[in-house]
Structure 1
Amino acid sequence: MTDRKKLIIAIDGPSGAGKSTASRLLAERLGYLNIDTGAMYRSVALAAHRAGIDPENHTALEELCDRIDIRLEVDPRGGLRVMLDGEDVSMAIRTPEISRLTPLVAAVPAVRRAMVTLQRRLGRDGGVVLEGRDIGTVVFPDADLKVFLHASARERGRRRWLELKEKGVEVDLEQTVREVVERDRVDMEREEAPLVRPDGAVDIDSGMLDVDQVVRLLLDEVDRTLRKRRDTGAARKG
């Protein structure tokens, strides 16, 4: 049982729904650790790409997971640094190529088992905000607060397109939307931990909201969860 003020918060949803930014800002407001599980899978995909490993080669991917070291470190300038074998790969894991490769690697059972084990170890003591696609269903199905954050595929594609343009990457908007739709299909149809709305999750559509509005909604849900926990504790004492 975690400390009553140290919640385990699970934020799930499809690619591009704003999970990473909202989770990071929520964690900063609460003084919690932010665990970007998607960055972990992206790191495996990057390592596999560099090693020339085909995503269909499950044995090689399992061996890769056994030997690489993935860490999430707080960046003094804000946010997280994603470290792969001591190298900061925070930018390298966000390229279109790695984005396309990640869902294929993440669908491999051995990869998911390795990452879930790491995620549970990082989050078991509470005081964490974990974001991904299977946090509330597989990693921490009994999380204190579960949220499903989503938006339409077109809106998520538009956001991704703008993000890449800001980085100087010229991509076609319609192609980006098609890639988002395909990513959704892979995530929802995979046999191992498919993307679904967790039971009991709070549903938030971020399509018409800015990030500050999303964070405010999340903070309201945290307050509601803490009040419920306090009320339950008081009732037991009574």
Structure 2
Amino acid sequence: KISLDNHEDLTQLANQVQLSFKKLPDDTYHLFMDGEDVSEEIRSIPVTKNVSFVSAISGVREALVKQQKLIGAQGGVVMDGRDIGTVVLPYAELKIFLTASLEERAVRRWREMTAKGIKSSMEEIREDLKQRDAFDSGREVAPLRPATDSVIIDTSSLSIEKVVDRILELSSFLI
């Protein structure tokens, strides 16, 4: 384990790790780190609590953005992240910035965690999201903001099906 205060070792790790996506037999894509499936771990509470802090470390950020750009350069990819449209893939053919109210995001995250059997309080999740939003919006490098050419969709009152329909409508020219 590496301490989150050890920027040098975190940067070294970020430069050594190999990220890849693999399509599984059930037609889902999973993220692999050095051959290990980390798709679930990257959405765990400890990771989501610390991702903004770690990704703000310049060396870590450079290494991971480089890998994301390489994955994006292969084409035919859908990426999600807080700076994909502004930093990682600024020339993407289609950029969609999904947003929702803090309350709605907290409810969704709580449901996701509960479905996985992970105990967490709504208040803890809400506070974590609020802190992450503030940190990401205020950071010096690649602050959280929609790209000027992105389509913004407020999903607060939309079902998953409605959001998917809207995205498919927007992306129909790419298919």
Same fold, judged at TM 0.5 (above): yes
Give the whole-Å Cα distance in 1 for the aligned partners of 2:66 and 2:139: 19
**2:28 aligned to 46, 66, 79, which one?**
79
Q: Which residue of 1 aligns with 2:5?
A: 56
CA deviations on 1:2-48 (whole Å, 9 max, x unpaired) are xxxxxxxxxxxxxxxxxxxxxxxxxxxxxxxxxxxxxxxxxxxxxxx
Q: How does 1:93-172 map to 2 (within 5 A)?
A: 93-172=42-121
- Who is 1:198 aligned against? 147
How many corresponding residue pairs?
175
Q: In the TM superposition, what are the counterparts of 1:25-64 in structure 2 within 5 Å?
A: 51=1, 53-64=2-13
Select 1:92's aligned residue among 41, 48, 58.
Answer: 41
Deviation, structure 1 residue 92: 2.5
Cα distance between partner residues in 2 of 1:188 and 1:55: 21
Give the alignment partner of residue 156 of structure 2, picking from 207, 212, 217.
207
Name whichever of 91-100 and 159-168 sits farther off.
Answer: 91-100
Task: Name the CA distance, whole Å, in 1 between partners of 2:35 and 2:171.
Answer: 34
User: SS of 2:148's equivalent?
Assistant: coil
Deviation of 1:125 after TM superposition, in Å, equals: 4.1
Structure 1 CA distance, aligned partners of 2:154 and 2:101?
Answer: 9
Flag structure 2 segments of 5+ consecutive residues without an equivalent: none
Which of structures 1 and 2 has the larger relative contact order (alpha carbons within 8 angstroms, sep 6+)? 1
Q: Which amino acid aligns with 2:14?
A: C
Gaps of 5+ in 1: 1-50, 227-238
Once the 2 structures are TM-superposed, how far is the Cα of residue 103 of structure 1 from its aligned partner?
A: 1.4
In the alignment, the residues of structure 1 paired with residue 31 and residue 23 of structure 2 have an alpha-carbon distance, to the nearest angstrom, of: 9
How far apart, in 1, do the equivalents of 2:53 and 2:134 lie?
A: 11
Secondary structure of the equivalent of 1:144?
A: coil
Contact between 1:108 and 1:192, CA under 8 Å: does it hold in 2?
A: no
1:113-160, Cα deviation, whole Å (9 max, x unpaired): 111111111112432212111111111212111111000011001111
Letter in 1 for 2:23: V
Q: Does the 8 A contact of 1:150 with 1:204 survive in 2?
A: yes
The percentage of aligned residue pairs carrying the same residue is: 39
Taking the aligned partners of 2:9 and 2:126, their CA distance within structure 1 comes to: 31
Larger-gyration structure (1/2):
1
Supply the AA of the counterpart residue of 1:88.
D
Report if the CA contact (8 A) 2:19-2:67 is conserved.
no
- Work out the CA distance in 1 between the residues paired with 2:32 and 2:74: 22
> CA shift at 1:57, angstroms?
2.1
Q: Find the residue that maps to 1:138 and give its secondary structure.
A: helix
Q: CA RMSD in A?
A: 1.7
